[in-house]
């Protein structure tokens, strides 16, 4: 796995930008198109997170509490 500090800068920058712009409240939308776009975005973010941010430390800086990833014991975001 690639640690965020070792990810290519453009990939990390794109990942952070996507985290910042993601609609974290998509699940509560009554509009199916908004819900689908949010679900697709979340799936893409989770795929990227596995390679760019495997411990979830960057993810947790931008995700609301209910979407945060449990960090390994001793790690801090």
pLDDT digits 0-9 by tens, 2-21: 455 556 778 899 999 999 99
| DSSP structural state of residue 56 | -
Torsion of CA 11, 12, 14, 17, to 10 degrees: 170
Q: Say which residues have a Cβ less than 8 Å from residue 44's Cβ, sequence separation at least 6.
A: 18
Instruction: Report which of residues 26 and 1 the model is more confident about.
Output: 26
pTM higher than 0.85, yes or no?
no
| DSSP structural state of residue 72 | P
Q: How many residues does the chain have?
A: 77
Encoding tokens for residue 17? 């930008």
Q: What is the pLDDT of residues 45-65, one digit of tens each?
A: 999 999 899 999 999 999 999
């Amino acid at each position: 796995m690639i640690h965020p500090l070792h990810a290519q800068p453009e990939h990390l920058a794109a990942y952070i930008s996507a985290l910042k712009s993601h609609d974290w409240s998509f699940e509560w939308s009554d509009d199916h198109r908004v819900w689908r776009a949010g679900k697709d975005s979340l799936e893409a973010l989770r795929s990227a997170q596995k390679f760019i941010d495997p411990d979830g430390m960057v993810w947790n800086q931008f995700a609301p509490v209910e979407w945060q990833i449990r960090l390994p014991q001793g790690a801090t975001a």
